[in-house]
Structure 1
Amino acid sequence: MSDLFAADPQETDKARPLADQLRPQTLAEVIGQESLLGPAGTLTRMLASGRLGSLILWGPPGTGKTTVARLLADQIGYRFEQISAIFSGVADLKKVFEKARFERLSGHRTLLFVDEIHRFNRAQQDSFLPVMEDGTVVLVGATTENPSFELNAALLSRSQVLRFQSLGRDELEKLLGRAETLLGSTLPLDETARGTLLGLADGDGRALLGLVEEILASTREGETLDATSLLTVVQRRAPIYDKAQEGHYNLISALHKTIRGSDPDAALYYFARMLDAGEDPLFLARRLIRMASEDIGLADPQALPLAIAGRDAYQMLGTPEGELSLAQVVVYLALAPKSNAVYTAYKAAMSLAKATGSPMPPMVILNAPTKMMKGQGYGEGYIYDHDTPEAFSGQEYFPEKIGRQDFYNPVERGFERDLRKRMDYFERLRAAKRAADAEE
Structure 2
Amino acid sequence: MGDLFDTGSDTEVPAGYRPLADRLRPRTLAEVIGQRQVLGPEAPLTVMLASGALSSLVLWGPPGVGKTTIARLLAHETDLHFVQISAIFTGVPDLRKVFEAAKIRRQNGQGTLLFVDEIHRFNKAQQDGFLPHMEDGTILLVGATTENPSFELNAAVLSRAQVLVLERLGTEDLERLALRAEAELDRALPLDTDARTALLQMADGDGRALLNLIEQVAAWKTDATLDTAALTKRLMKRAAQYDKGGDSHYNLISALHKSVRGSDPDAALYWFARMLEGGEDPRYLARRITRMAVEDIGLADPQAQAVCLQSWQTYERLGSPEGELALAQAVAYLALAPKSNAAYVAYKGARRAAKETGSEPPPKHILNAPTAMMKDQGYGDGYAYDHDAEDGFSGQNYFPDGMDRPQLYQPVERGFERDLKKRLDYFTRLRDKRET
TM-score, normalization by structure 2: 0.92
Give the Cα–Cα distance (whole angstroms) in 2 for the partners of residues 293 and 254 of structure 1.
Answer: 17
Q: Deviations over 1:364-405 (max 9, x none)?
A: 333344555556554444444334452223222223242533
Could you tell me how far apart the structure 1 residues matched to 2:318 and 2:372 are?
Answer: 58
1:423 Cα deviation after fit: 0.8
2:146 equivalent to 1:154: no
Amino acid aligned to 1:330: V
Residues 418-437 of structure 1 mapped to structure 2, 5 A cutoff: 418-435=419-436
Query: Does residue 86 in structure 1 map to residue 88 in structure 2?
Result: yes
| Cα deviation digits, residues 191-228 of structure 1 (max 9, x gap) | 222222111111110011111223334x4412443333
SS at match of 1:402: coil
Distance 1:372 1:118 in 2: 65
Of 123, 129, 132, the match for 1:130 = 132
- The offset of 1:83, in angstroms, is 1.1
State the SS of the aligned residue for 2:62: coil
SS in 1 for 2:65: coil
Q: Quick one: which amino acid aligns to residue 340 of structure 2?
A: S
Query: Structure 1: how far apart are the matches of 2:421 and 2:403?
Result: 24
Whole-angstrom CA distance in 2 between matches of 1:329 and 1:170: 37
Give the deviation of 1:153 after TM superposition: 1.2
Which residue of structure 2 lines up, in the alignment, with residue 340 of structure 1?
Answer: 341
Aligned to 1:404: 405
- Cα-Cα RMSD: 2.0
| Matched position secondary structure for 2:59 | strand
Structure-2 change in CA distance of 1:434 and 1:17 (3 Å): same
Task: Give yes or no for the alignment of 1:63 onto 2:51.
Answer: no
Counterpart-to-counterpart distance in 1, 2:265 and 2:349:
31
Q: 1:238 corresponds to which letter in structure 2?
A: A
**Where do 5+ consecutive residues of structure 1 fail to align?**
1-10, 436-440
Gap change, CA 1:41 and 1:384, over 3 Å in 2: same
Q: Which runs of 5+ in 2 are unaligned?
A: 1-13
Q: CA deviation at 1:156?
A: 1.1
Q: Are residues 374 and 78 of structure 1, via their aligned partners in 2, closer, same or farther at CA, if it must alter by over 3 Å?
A: closer
Would the alpha carbon gap of residues 378 and 108 (structure 1) be closer, same or farther in structure 2, given more than 3 Å must change? closer
Deviations 1:278-315 (A, max 9, x none): 11111111111111111111112221111111211111
Candidates 96, 115, 118, aligned match of 1:116: 118
Worse-matched range after superposition: 402-411 or 31-40: 402-411
* Secondary structure of 1:161 counterpart: strand
Cα distance in 1, alignment partners of residues 164 and 141 from structure 2: 13
Change (3 A) 1:101 1:368: closer
Q: 1:89–1:382: structure 2 CA closer, same or farther, 3 Å change rule?
A: same
Give the C-alpha shift of residue 100 in structure 1: 1.5
Match of 1:41 among 33, 43, 46: 43
Tell me by how many angstroms 1:22 deviates.
Answer: 0.8
Cα offset for 1:92?
A: 1.2
Name the counterpart of 2:358: 357
The separation in 2 between residues aligned to 1:399 and 1:132, in whole angstroms, is 58
Match of 1:99 among 98, 101, 121: 101
Using the TM superposition, name which of 383-392 and 260-269 deviates more. Answer: 383-392
Cross-structure match for 2:299: 298
Using the TM superposition, give the Cα deviation of residue 362 of structure 1 relative to its aligned residue in structure 2, in angstroms.
3.3
The C-alpha deviation readout for 1:98-140, integer Å capped at 9, x for no partner, is: 1122222222221111111111111111111111111112111
Q: What is the CA–CA distance in structure 1 between the aligned matches of 2:254 and 2:322, rounded to whole Å? A: 25
1:74 aligns with 2:76: yes
1:83 aligned counterpart, secondary structure: strand
1:229 to 1:424, Cα distance in 2 relative to 1, 3 A: same
Deviation of 1:184 (Å): 1.9
Count of aligned pairs between the two proteins: 423
Letter in 1 for 2:57: L
CA distance in 2, matches of 1:154, 1:429: 60
The amino acid that maps onto 2:81 is R
- Residue type at the aligned position of 2:184: L
Q: Which range moved further: 270-279 or 100-109?
A: 100-109
Match of 1:254, as an amino acid? A
> Per the alignment, in what secondary structure is the counterpart of residue 158 of structure 2?
helix
Summarize deviations over 1:147-177 as a string: whole Å, max 9, x none.
1111111111111111111100100011011
Output the CA distance in 2 between the equivalents of 1:424 and 1:248: 43
Cα distance between partner residues in 2 of 1:116 and 1:78: 21
**In the TM superposition, what is the alpha-carbon distance from 1:12 to its structure 2 partner?**
5.3
Q: Return the alpha-carbon distance in structure 2 between the equivalents of residues 71 and 261 of structure 1.
A: 44
Aligned to 1:28: 30
Given the superposition, is the C-alpha separation of residues 391 and 204 from structure 1 closer, same or farther in structure 2, using an over 3 Å criterion? same
| Equivalent pair of 1:214/1:233 in contact (CA under 8 Å) | no
Deviation, structure 1 residue 68: 1.0
Per the normalisation by structure 1, the TM-score is: 0.91
Cα deviations by residue, 1:312-349 (Å, 9 ceiling, x for unpaired): 11111111111111111112212222211111111111
2:182 match: 180
**How far off its partner does 1:33 sit?**
0.7
Structure 1 pair 54/375, CA: closer, same or farther in 2 (3 Å)?
closer
1:212 aligns to 2:200 (yes or no) = no
Change over 3 Å in CA distance of 1:374–1:76 after alignment to 2: closer
Residue matched to 2:3: none
Q: How does 1:193-342 map to 2 (within 5 A)?
A: 193-217=195-219, 219-342=220-343
Shift in CA distance, 376/74, structure 1 to aligned 2, threshold 3 Å: closer
Runs of 4+ in 1 over 6 A off after TM superposition: none
Counterpart CA distance in 1 for 2:381 and 2:29 is 85
Q: Are residues 226 and 375 of structure 1, via their aligned partners in 2, closer, same or farther at CA, if it must alter by over 3 Å?
A: same
Name the CA distance, whole Å, in 2 between partners of 1:395 and 1:156: 56
Superposed CA deviations along residues 46-80 of structure 1, whole A, max 9, x for unmatched, are: 11112222111111111111111111111121211
* Percent identity of equivalent pairs: 64
The code of the aligned residue for 1:280 comes to D
Matches of 2:178 and 2:35, distance apart in 1: 17
Please give the secondary structure, in 2, of the residue aligned with 1:390: helix
Structure 2 distance, partners of 1:75, 1:374, is 87
SS of match in other structure, 1:267: helix
Distance 1:394 1:66 in 2: 70
Corresponding position of 1:4:
none
Q: Is the 8 A contact 1:359 1:401 kept in 2?
A: no
* Alignment CA distance shift 1:39-1:389 (3 Å): same
